[in-house]
Chain A
Amino acid sequence: MIQTGPLFLRVVAIEPLSPRLKRITLQSAEGGLLPLSQPGAHLTLTLPGPGRGHRNAYSIVSPCDRRDHYQLIIRRAPASRGGSRHVHEVMAVGDVLEAAAPNSQFSIQSQTRKHLMIAGGVGLTPMLSLTSALRARGAHIELHQIAHVDEVAVFEALLAGERNVHIHTGRAKLDLTNLLARQPLGTHLYCCGPQAMMEAARDAAVALGWPETSLHQESFGAAGGAPFILRLARSGLEIAVGEHDTMLEAIEAAGVAAPSLCRGGACGVCLTSVIEGAPEHRDHVLSEAERAEGRKVLPCVSRSTTPYLVLDL
């Protein structure tokens, strides 16, 4: 499958699950099948808002083999001025939204003898597609859900189809050390929830001798960053690089033909000189010394730590 362009999805159902949780069902706005999702995948929705809107990533909770719809569960973030407020207060059945094709940074680890999942609150969402895929393969799963006492019933309902599920009302109720110390060789840990919870789980596992390669966290990828202004010294152009644009995309959108090839920070073709400003390096080409020196940058993936960056383009 070669995905060209964004998806257009129509909201066909909005179900309140609790005062702060809603489940949304989306189908293709053009009719027909949606691209196949993947276990642990998320959808990046563009929700209406100022400028180019809010781009938020939400885990797909429906089984990934379903190509007729995607389902998301979205929590109303406290004091949200962004996407979740729109979902909870404005979104209506029939709305059409733009989305990027499903992407997964949180996948099933193969050759694993046991999949241990720890989810905090709405951090359960990426686990749901993982568990449905794993169940179909007859894998060994154990899932621990930390839920606010008000929402226990909601999570019990969401997890009704799973065996080996334990729901804890609050983080203190889950004895991480005890749980992690008794896992057999070949167990992998999947974690999603509040940052503090994920760090606590990770720290406990490392203290018990789990290798890093056995620990997995849902981070939804690390693309994008703070917006900044790019100045191209040779063409004299000033370009705004938005939080979801790459430098290369912004340069191309301004009509400047910059050389590029892999567009993933690996081939070095887009390498450019930095005249002013301090780049934020995200590539795999520059050496430590070159990164520290800050005179070169790969615009296809890297960004800026300073509000202005001047390139020799």
Chain B
Amino acid sequence: MPKREGGMSDHVIKSMPVYAPIRLDRSGRRHLLLADDVAALPTGLAADLSPDAFDERWLVVRQSQAIPSPDEHARDRPYRSDAHVLQALKWRLTSETMGLRLYAIGKEAFVWSVWNVALSFGLGGREVQLCASPAGPRRVYCNHCRTINEAATTNIVVCAGCRAPLYVRDHFSRRLNAYAGVQVDAEAPGEVPPIEVLYP
């Protein structure tokens, strides 16, 4: 990340999530895998881990006719969208018992949505594993006006709410599921560094 004017930059920042391919946590009893795209699975899972190792696999297929099986023992369930699978997850967690491990692979915004649902239904950090794959556009929270700017692909993005050119920081909030954005030319109005595309 280039330094912004005024000297602030995020050297390698410890609050930026760092992902590793999913490994099965064998201390758990049941393993539930969610993915927002079947294409994300190969890089999202550790090389020696097959999807078969999971008791259930819920996959977002982005088709309106998709429907999960009514059979409670079905291992593979297709869902129409992120919203559809998250809703199903809420219902499932309501009746689950201790011993579950939840795994999510997909875009960064998706995996942290899964995280927030998991935490609100009683799972703790040790029971959830995430892999955002591949590195992708960022949701950016404008610190000045609180607008969330979706899918930023550049290092500097103009806020849709207050029009400030925001430097997209590496400081990430799991609760807001977004990176912080701060006005890049606040100290020297008009001096905006060159904009670079980071996520094509």
Contacts and interface: CB of A to CB of B under 8 A. Distances in A.
Binding between chains A and B? yes
Interface of A: 113, 180-187, 205-206, 208-214
Contact of A209 (B27, B93, B95, B121): B27
11 contacts: A180-B98, A184-B95, A185-B93, A185-B121, A186-B122, A187-B98, A187-B122, A208-B98, A208-B99, A209-B101, A211-B27
Interface stretch (B123-131, B136-144, B168-176, B190-198): B123-131
A185 B97 contact: yes
A214 B27 contact: no
Interface of B: 27-30, 93, 95-101, 121-127
A207 to B, nearest CB: 9
A205 B98 CA distance: 9
Given A185-B100, A208-B99, A211-B124, 6 more contacts: A183-B98, A208-B29, A209-B27, A209-B30, A211-B126, A212-B126
Count chain B CB atoms within 10 A of each CB in A182, A183, A186, A187 and give the residue with the most.
A186
A265 B119 CA distance: 33
Given A208-B29, A209-B29, A211-B124, A184 B99 contact: no
A98 to B, nearest CB: 40
A182 B127 CA distance: 17
Contact of B97 (A183, A211, A212): A183
Contacts of B98: 180-181, 183-185, 187, 205, 208-210, 214
A210 B99 contact: yes
A214 B124 contact: yes
A283 to B, nearest CB: 23
* Interchain residue pairs A-B with the least CB separation, the first 3: A186-B122, A209-B99, A209-B29
Nearest to B102: A185
Contacts of B101: 209
Contacts of A206: 27
A186 B30 contact: no
A210 B123 CA distance: 11
A185 B123 contact: yes
Contacts of A208: 29, 98-99
Contacts of A183: 97-98
Contacts of A212: 126
B97 to A, nearest CB: 6
Contact of A184 (B29, B96, B124, B127): B96
Count chain B CB atoms within 10 A of each CB in A182, A205, A210 and give the residue with the most.
A210
Count chain A CB atoms within 10 A of each CB in B27, B28, B95, B98 and give the residue with the most.
B98
Contacts of A186: 121-124
A213 B122 contact: no
A205 B29 CA distance: 11
A257 B126 CA distance: 45
Contacts of B28: 209
A181 B124 CA distance: 17
A181 B97 contact: yes
Given A206-B27, A209-B27, A209-B29, A184 B126 contact: no
Contact of A182 (B29, B97, B123, B125): B97
B168 to A, nearest CB: 30
A206 B26 CA distance: 11
A210 B122 CA distance: 12
